[in-house]
Amino acid sequence: MKKFIVIVLLVLVGLFLLLAVSKMPIMGDPDSPTNAIATSRYIAKGPQETGCNNLVSAIILNYRVYDTFGEITVIFVTLTAALAILGREKAGEGVSPLKVSPSPLVSTIMIIYIPFFIVFAFYVAIHGFNSIGGGFQGGVILASVLVIYALVFGYDEAVRKFPPKRRILFEGLAPLCFVVVGFMSILAGTNFLNLNFSSVSHFRNFLTLILEISLGLTSGVAIASLFYILKKVERE
Amino acid sequence: MTVLIILLSLCLIILSIFVVVSRNLLASIILFSAYGLIMALVWQQLGAPVLALAEVVVESGIISVLFVVSVFRTSKDDVE
Amino acid sequence: MLKASFSNLIYVVSMILFLIGFYAVAMRPSLIKKIIGINIMETAIFLFLIGIGNKKGGASPLVVEGIEKYVNPFPQAMVLMALVVGVGTTALALILAVRLFECENGEKR
């Protein structure tokens, strides 16, 4: 019975979606409504007004930075909720030790690779101004470094290396960075988080860089913390 | 519409059906990470390389690891 | 209708993926499968948004001297933000599923 209802619902929703799709403008049409309004401004003046040749970075770090602030709030709230549900892990307590010692080949390769991974993460984050990349991507690469460390050397060792005390600093850093930059622009006499308050373009680029790195660090460290919370197993 | 996009989208649909139908949770997670990889290729073809990078890192990197960890935690027998 | 659908192939593909994800959420008993279904629906909508922003013959939105025509960067920025939020919601859903499993099986925190 449930299957029948779901199939009927699927067919109905599919028909409506197909009707909507057939009324959409042709894909790739330069004159369609979505491509008409604000985009020409972003494309024409983006590099001069924001200092980013990468237009996606230009939008999320300058034109729509208020949205990015909200997004960071979402990550922070997610982390808080996860901590409220499962609780923070403690170093070397109540965690099952690794049954198999890591293979010497894998651990040696990882010891050689991990510095390059971290350099690559920061390269992706900083290079997001002019090329493919961005703060968020770099941050997630950083998080994957922490995850790989926990998978190769065991959970206990990873928690000892990156204890929660050290991670709390970064988890609270980025919302704070955003608030500080926002109030800086208020003190300079413009709106909250308006970066274009000074006539010196280098200062604006510097603020954008701060925002980008703080975005990367928070998202990365928060995602790594979510992984550590999820991996925590308590046995009596 | 190039031939490559059509082939990739066919691949996407087939993969997502396998992800949903498969009985084994681990197999469906691995297929899901492959799905994310092919989705990133489609986005790159549509002119969004920045998003393709993010999708590769997120969908087939972090999210599949989170899924695997939670599958190990919610299975009855000790798989670790 | 069919001809318009063929020229808008990306929209049709995202619609089919959305329906598959919907089926997984509605019919699969396992919670993890339901969360995978939610993720499939999410990526389908991202595909739709990127398809909206596409322009025929447009370059990807990295400004280079001498190129005038670019893909619309605005939906891409919004999708990037939605990806971040998607990671957060998926992780929170998994944590809730794990907690639910522990409650049902009588394990202490």
Angstrom distance (rounded) from CA A160 to CA C95: 23
- Count of domains observed in chain A: 1
| Alpha-carbon torsion angle A176, A181, A185, A187, nearest 10 | 60
Nearest to A230 among C27, C84, C95 (CB): C95
Residue A12 lies in a domain: no
Length of chain A: 236
3-state SS of A142-205 is HHHHHHHHHHHHCHHHHHHHCCHHHHHHHHHHHHHHHHHHHHHHHHCCCCCCCCCCCCCHHHHH
pLDDT one-digit tens code per residue, A160-185:
888 888 888 888 887 888 889 888 88
Nearest to C61 among A17, A56, A230 (CB): A56
Q: B35 and C13: CB-CB below 8 Å?
A: no
Domain harbouring C15, CATH code: 1.10.287
Q: A21 and C109: CB-CB below 8 Å?
A: no
Q: Minimal Cα–Cα distance from C104 to chain A, Å?
A: 15
Through-space distance between the first and last CA atoms of chain C, rounded to whole angstroms: 56
pLDDT one-digit tens code per residue, B9-57:
999 999 999 999 998 999 999 999 999 999 999 999 988 999 999 999 9
Q: What per-residue confidence (pLDDT) applies to A236?
A: 40
Nearest to C99 among A18, A28, A85 (CB): A85
Residue C53 lies in a domain: yes
- Count of domains observed in chain C: 1
Q: Minimal Cα–Cα distance from B80 to chain C, Å?
A: 16
Residue C85 lies in a domain: yes
Residue C10 lies in a domain: yes
Query: Angle at which helices B3-21 and C31-53 pack, to 10 degrees?
Result: 160
Residue A205 lies in a domain: yes
pLDDT one-digit tens code per residue, A68-90:
999 999 999 999 999 999 888 77
Angstrom distance (rounded) from CA A155 to CA A148: 10
Give the highest mean pLDDT range of A14-23, A35-44, C5-14: A14-23
Q: Domain range holding A97?
A: 50-231
Residue C109 lies in a domain: no
Mean pLDDT for all residues in chain A = 85
Residue A89 lies in a domain: yes
ipTM for this prediction: 0.89
**Cα A105 to the center of its chain, rounded Å:** 32
Residue of B nearest to C79 (CA): B51
Query: Which of C7, C15, C19, C20 to mutate to probe the B interface, most B CBs <10 Å?
Result: C20
Residue of C nearest to A32 (CA): C52
Q: Could you give the percent of chain A with pLDDT greater than 70?
A: 94
Cβ density class B7-32: b for 16+ within 10 Å, e for less: ebbebbeebbbebbebeebeebbbbb
Residue C50 lies in a domain: yes
Burial class (CB in 10 A: 0-12, 13-18, 19+), C79: buried
pLDDT one-digit tens code per residue, C48-83:
999 888 888 888 888 888 888 888 888 999 999 999
Inform me whether the pLDDT recorded for A28 exceeds 80: no
pLDDT one-digit tens code per residue, B47-70:
899 999 999 999 888 999 999 989
Residue C33 lies in a domain: yes
Q: Minimal Cα–Cα distance from C71 to chain B, Å?
A: 7
Q: Domain range holding C97?
A: 2-104
Contact B25, A105 (CB under 8 A): no
Q: What per-residue confidence (pLDDT) applies to C2?
A: 67
Nearest to C85 among A18, A26, A74 (CB): A74
Residue A20 lies in a domain: no
**Cα A10 to the center of its chain, rounded Å:** 34
Q: Grade residue C95 by pLDDT with cuts at 50, 70 and 90.
A: very high
Q: Could you tell me which chains touch chain B, where touching means 3 or more CB pairs under 8 A?
A: A, C
Q: B62 and A96: CB-CB below 8 Å?
A: no
